């Protein structure tokens, strides 16, 4: 790789950003729900403990997560377009291409997780 | 390209051969070449497969007919526990390490991995731990609690030594896995040939990288759980005892945070092997390279969000189960992408249906069925119906045998010429395949039905119920057909082959670098380290093999008789260093023997003997480090060929050993995070945590410890800087004060719970506080030893201001130790104030 291509490529660790963002969203949603239900309800009161208040928080997590993934995707798209000009045979940056794909996968996975609290109404076990 | 005469080339080859020769005779087991250690690993894992297979046959014989008494209930428990444990810990995961150690340097045209002695150490740990665990069944002492060892069965009820053997024996093997992961990550990132930027890496290398990183984060939670359970069993610390504030569910969380990624740790490398086999037999480049990398990375991450799908029946809130059910469905996306990419490669190429390809096709067919039943059991209501039934047994075997065993046998047939320079029998391979494929489906397809009919797992017999008798008998017949297939493969592998002619070079006309190997093979790996500019250089780079063979690339010689390989940058593989790697030594074997001894004797609670063995292990490891690492070269730079001169010694973040410490400490930090998870888990499940009236460790002693440890950390950093400035007295004084501060800090940390009368056997709160404190204390001891080691290195002239790998690495260790200590103090001293 020549110097120009190197300057326009992305570091390897960026691949972790979208999937780590998904992971943090997942953990935050799970921990919030687990702690909420553990602290607010018992086995006897689980059915009458609504999870409504959680939904707003989990939606907020979604917005933040999608914003992080969006920034990573924008970086990937930008570099992917540029890098081909600097490489032998016009090859595109693999890191940028894979990052773009991971952003798509992570977005889908995050939306999947966000849908969960809308399918449940309470802390039932 | 430089030109050299035939005589010069011949002499270069003589020197290379002598330098890289593996020892023979009684010194054979001092070898550290990846080609030798990889074969040991492969042989060891295959032998454990045979042992686990015999256990499986015992299980199936017992279940062949209703009310059978072939095995007693107790022996059956030992047999199925050991079968699962052997297959997961002693076959499936180490097999990845075996293939990766054997192949990675060849795939990357490196001469060896960066820490060959660490590979050997890992192998001996694996072998010792494996023999210890497997041997227990011959003394009627094997673990009996299932391969997941759920408490309270394994803490309150099964008081015999079996669970200790599992906990300590397999923890020891986990160390081997982490050692291999460190080696492989640094190898994949830093030992690529010039020009092989990330996007040109062979696909198997991507899988090795992803899986090694997964091991770093998946195994430590289990190690943390093992520590807790062994402390409960040996010293009555009640982490899992509800009577005293513990909770058995904590073990399930820690176990499955490890256990589910482990499924993918097993499956992904096998997919990596398919990603090498399929393009070769399709005679074209892999279709959708980027998408396959996406799948590997995506699965690697997503697999950490699935662990609770093994706990759907444990009574967690439905919303929690929902998150894990959703994540379990999502992972089907990257898994499917990968399989479609393989199928597309087959369809786009000109397929040669050789034996490895036959196994690859069988793997895809079986794995897809296992994947589909996986989607079924990821749906909570369905899982509740089939939980702990033989349906799950069928599902997991379709996943693991399809996703791992078939690709691996295919890979053995594919790569055997690299191991023994000869090919296995094509005819035998085909016959064995059909035995395995038919036997597998005959065994496990009926288990879906027996499971749906309600037959539970792990129960040693069953009554005569309509349908169960016949289906079980069919499964047992199938198991023996599988055994016949495995036997055929084993016979092919181990039969004498002196009459079999050497294979031609690159017998499958593959395009990747491992097939540069000459037949018969040489220990040097690659004749000269090439410049790589394509993904399939053997297909795409003109005159490539001839130039390598003629020594026209880098490092064509071993003038100084030193083992050398090239270290390059992570992203674009620009050469950075000519790395000298150590040669044969018995140190790794001795170190493994003594560390293994600690675990073995601790099982029987012979604490003084364990301490003595621990000291012996420490001395051997220090001798190993002293004589074999961070050696100062006579000449600081070396001409590696093609007009390129590289430094021989690099320290700090430019050193591969610095990366190894960084990676090891990430794993260590993950284990610590798992203990912290335990603390907050107890807080979640208790209405009042810390329990009322419990004073905790107080504030004064933890704050004193924080001040002392912080000072010690800063002094260690100062010592590094003083050494660089060649200020000897400043260096020694800083280190002496740092060591004193560290010891005083450890004392202050222990004084908190001690002075406040916290009893680790009284309540889970006391136990977890003591454990966190002990964790920091146990890390401070080697930290002080390292400080003295650095001082001794400088005194002996083995560390200088310019050659300071040791103190840089110790400082990095201290960064992590500082984070661990401060986090511990914040949690134990300040969190109770918030509640």
Q: What is the 3-state secondary structure (H, E, C) of B353-406?
A: CCHHHHHHHHHHHHHHHHHHHHHHHCCHHHHHHHCCEHHHHHHHHHHHHHHHHH
Predicted confidence (pLDDT) per residue in B18-43, tens digit: 999 999 999 999 999 999 999 999 99
Q: Is the pLDDT of residue A2 over 80?
A: no
Cis peptide before A25 (omega within 30 of 0): no
Q: Residue B318 and residue A125: Cβ atoms within 8 Å?
A: yes
Query: What pLDDT, on a 0 to 100 scale, did the predictor assign at position B467?
Result: 81
The two structure tokens encoding residue B736: 């002496």
The single-letter DSSP state of residue B28 is G
The two structure tokens encoding residue B495: 């039969």
Q: Among A6-15, B378-387, B631-640, where is mean pLDDT lowest?
A: A6-15
Q: Is the pLDDT of residue B5 over 60?
A: yes
Predicted confidence (pLDDT) per residue in B707-752, tens digit: 999 999 999 999 999 999 999 999 999 999 999 999 999 999 999 9
The two structure tokens encoding residue B399: 């996943």
Predicted confidence (pLDDT) per residue in A53-91, tens digit: 889 999 999 999 999 999 999 999 988 877 655 555 456
Its sign, for the CA torsion B810, B815, B821, B824, is negative
pTM to 2 decimals?
0.94
What is the average per-residue pLDDT within B638-651?
96
Query: What pLDDT, on a 0 to 100 scale, did the predictor assign at position A3?
Result: 47
Distance CA B798, CA B787 (A): 14
Looking at the DSSP bridge assignments, the partners of residue B529 are B554
Q: Is the pLDDT of residue A5 over 70?
A: no
What is the average per-residue pLDDT within B426-451?
97
Q: Considering chain B, what percentage of its residues have pLDDT values greater than 90?
A: 94
Specify the 3-state DSSP secondary structure of B578: strand
Q: Is the pLDDT of residue B325 over 90?
A: yes
Burial of B321 (0-12, 13-18, 19+ CB in 10 A): buried
Contacts of A119 in chain B (CB under 8 A): 322
Query: What pLDDT, on a 0 to 100 scale, did the predictor assign at position A93?
Result: 82
Buried residues in B720-739 as b, exposed as e (16+ CB within 10 A)? bebbbeeeeeebbebbebbb
Contacts of A9 in chain B (CB under 8 A): 571-572
Predicted confidence (pLDDT) per residue in B160-213, tens digit: 999 999 999 988 888 889 999 999 999 999 999 999 999 999 999 999 999 999
Buried residues in B558-570 as b, exposed as e (16+ CB within 10 A)? beeebbbbbbbbb
Give the end-to-end CA distance of chain A in Å, rounded to a whole number. Answer: 56
Q: Tell which of B202, B264, B297, B317 to mutate to test the A interface (max A CBs under 10 Å).
A: B317
Distances (CA, A) of B763 to B236, B243, B549, B695: 10, 9, 68, 13
Closest CA to B46 of B492, B521, B395: B492
Predicted confidence (pLDDT) per residue in B351-392, tens digit: 999 999 999 999 999 999 999 999 999 999 999 999 999 999
| Helix runs in B389-425, H state only | 390-400, 406-420
Please tell me which of the candidates B199, B302, B305 has its beta carbon nearest to residue A94.
B199
Please tell me which of the candidates A26, A88, A105 has its beta carbon nearest to residue B327.
A26
Predicted confidence (pLDDT) per residue in B657-677, tens digit: 999 999 999 999 999 999 999
The single-letter DSSP state of residue B798 is S
Block residue for tokens 């055997």: B416
Contacts of B319 in chain A (CB under 8 A): 33, 37, 51, 54, 116-117, 120, 123
Predicted confidence (pLDDT) per residue in B602-625, tens digit: 999 999 999 999 999 999 999 999
As for the ipTM of the complex, it is 0.88
Looking at the DSSP bridge assignments, the partners of residue B567 are B577
Q: H-helix or E-strand containing B583?
A: none
Give the other-Cβ count within 10 Å of A4's Cβ. Answer: 13
Rounded to the nearest angstrom, the minimum Cα separation between A77 and chain B is 14
Query: What pLDDT, on a 0 to 100 scale, did the predictor assign at position B732?
Result: 98
Predicted confidence (pLDDT) per residue in B235-287, tens digit: 999 999 999 999 999 999 999 999 999 999 999 999 999 999 999 999 999 99
Contacts of A12 in chain B (CB under 8 A): 189, 198, 570-571
- Find out whether B171 and B671 touch, Cβ atoms under 8 Å: no
């Amino acid at each position: 790789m020549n110097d120009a291509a190197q300057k326009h490529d992305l570091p390897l660790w960026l691949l972790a950003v979208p999937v780590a963002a998904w992971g943090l969203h997942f953990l935050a949603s799970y921990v919030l729900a687990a702690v909420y239900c553990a602290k607010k309800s018992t086995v006897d009161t689980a059915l009458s403990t609504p999870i409504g208040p959680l939904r707003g928080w989990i939606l907020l997590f979604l917005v933040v997560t999608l914003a992080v993934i969006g920034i990573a995707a924008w970086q990937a798209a930008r570099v992917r377009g540029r890098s081909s000009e600097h490489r032998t045979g016009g090859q595109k940056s693999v890191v940028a291409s894979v990052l773009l794909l991971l952003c798509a996968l992570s977005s889908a996975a995050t939306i999947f997780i966000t849908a969960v609290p809308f399918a449940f109404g309470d802390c039932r076990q | 390209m430089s030109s050299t005469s035939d005589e010069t080339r011949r002499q270069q080859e003589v020197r290379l051969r002598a330098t890289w020769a593996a020892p023979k005779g009684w010194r054979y087991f001092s070898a550290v070449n990846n080609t030798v250690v990889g074969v040991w690993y492969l042989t060891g894992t295959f032998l454990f497969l045979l042992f686990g297979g015999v256990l499986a046959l015992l299980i199936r014989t017992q279940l062949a007919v209703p009310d059978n008494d072939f095995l007693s209930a107790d022996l059956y428990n030992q047999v199925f526990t050991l079968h699962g444990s052997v297959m997961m810990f002693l076959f499936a995961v180490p097999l990845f390490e075996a293939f990766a150690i054997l192949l990675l340097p060849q795939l990357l045209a490196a001469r060896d991995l960066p820490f060959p002695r660490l590979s050997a150490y890992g192998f001996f740990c694996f072998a010792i731990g494996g023999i210890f665990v497997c041997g227990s069944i011959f003394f009627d002492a094997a673990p009996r609690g299932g391969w997941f060892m759920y408490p309270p069965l394994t803490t309150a009820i099964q008081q015999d030594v079996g669970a200790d053997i599992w906990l300590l024996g397999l923890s020891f093997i986990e160390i081997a896995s982490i050692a291999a992961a460190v080696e492989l990550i640094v190898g994949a990132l830093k030992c690529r040939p010039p020009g092989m930027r990330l996007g040109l890496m062979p696909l198997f290398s991507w899988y090795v990288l992803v899986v090694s990183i997964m091991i770093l984060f998946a195994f430590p939670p289990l190690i943390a759980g093992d520590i807790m359970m062994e402390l409960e069993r040996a010293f009555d610390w009640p982490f899992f005892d509800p009577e005293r504030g513990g909770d058995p569910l904590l073990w399930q969380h820690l176990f499955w945070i490890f256990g589910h990624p482990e499924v993918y740790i097993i499956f992904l490398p096998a997919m990596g092997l398919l990603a090498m086999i399929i393009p070769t037999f399709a005679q074209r480049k892999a279709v959708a390279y980027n998408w396959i990398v996406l799948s590997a990375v995506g699965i690697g991450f997503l697999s950490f969000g699935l662990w609770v799908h093994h706990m759907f029946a444990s009574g967690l809130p439905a919303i929690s189960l929902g998150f894990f059910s959703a994540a379990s469905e999502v992972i089907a996306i990257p898994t499917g992408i990968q399989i479609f990419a393989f199928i597309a490669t087959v369809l786009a190429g000109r397929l040669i249906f050789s034996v490895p390809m036959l196994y690859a096709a069988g793997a895809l067919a079986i794995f897809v069925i296992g994947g589909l039943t996986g989607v079924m059991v990821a749906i909570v209501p369905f899982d509740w119906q089939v939980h702990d039934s033989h349906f799950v047994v069928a599902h997991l075997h379709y996943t693991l045998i399809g996703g791992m065993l078939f690709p691996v046998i295919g890979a053995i047939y594919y790569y055997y010429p690299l191991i023994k320079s000869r090919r296995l029998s094509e005819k035998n391979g085909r016959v064995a395949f059909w035995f395995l494929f038919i036997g597998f489906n005959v065994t496990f397809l009926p288990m879906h039905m027996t499971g749906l009919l309600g037959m539970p797992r792990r129960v040693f017999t069953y009554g005569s119920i309509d349908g169960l008798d016949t289906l079980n008998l069919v499964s047992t017949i199938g198991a023996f057909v599988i055994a016949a297939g495995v036997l055929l493969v084993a016979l092919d592998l181990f039969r004498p082959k002196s009459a079999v002619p050497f294979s031609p070079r690159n017998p499958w006309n593959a395009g990747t670098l491992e097939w540069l190997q000459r037949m018969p093979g040489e220990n040097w790996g690659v004749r000269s380290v090439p410049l790589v500019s394509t993904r399939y250089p053997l297909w795409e780079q003109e005159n490539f093999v001839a130039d390598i063979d003629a020594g026209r690339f880098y490092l064509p010689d071993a003038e100084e008789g030193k083992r050398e390989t090239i270290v390059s940058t992570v992203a674009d593989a620009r050469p950075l260093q000519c790395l000298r790697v150590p040669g044969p030594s018995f140190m790794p074997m001795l170190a493994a023997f003594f560390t293994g001894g600690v675990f073995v004797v601790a099982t029987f609670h012979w604490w003084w003997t364990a301490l003595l063995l621990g000291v012996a292990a420490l001395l051997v490891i220090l001798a190993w480090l002293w004589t074999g690492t961070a050696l100062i070269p006579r000449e600081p730079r070396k001409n590696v060929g093609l007009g390129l001169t590289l430094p021989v010694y690099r320290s700090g973040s430019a050193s591969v050993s610095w990366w190894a410490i960084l990676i090891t400490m990430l794993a260590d930090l993950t284990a610590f995070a798992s203990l912290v998870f335990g603390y907050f888990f107890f807080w979640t499940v208790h209405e009042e945590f810390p329990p009322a009236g419990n004073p905790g460790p107080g504030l004064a002693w933890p704050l004193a410890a924080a001040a002392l440890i912080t000072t010690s950390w800063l002094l260690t950093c100062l010592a590094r800087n003083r050494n660089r400035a060649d200020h000897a007295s400043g260096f020694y004084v800083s280190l002496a004060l740092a060591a004193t501060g560290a010891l005083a800090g450890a004392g202050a940390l222990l004084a908190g719970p001690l002075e406040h009368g916290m009893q680790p056997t009284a309540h889970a709160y006391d136990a977890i506080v003591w454990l966190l404190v002990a964790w920091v204390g146990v890390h401070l001891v080697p930290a002080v030893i390292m400080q003295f080691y650095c001082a001794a290195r400088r005194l002996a002239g083995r560390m200088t201001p310019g050659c300071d790998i040791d103190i840089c690495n110790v400082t990095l260790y201290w960064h992590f130790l500082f984070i661990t200590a401060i986090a511990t103090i914040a949690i134990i001293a300040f969190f109770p104030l918030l509640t």
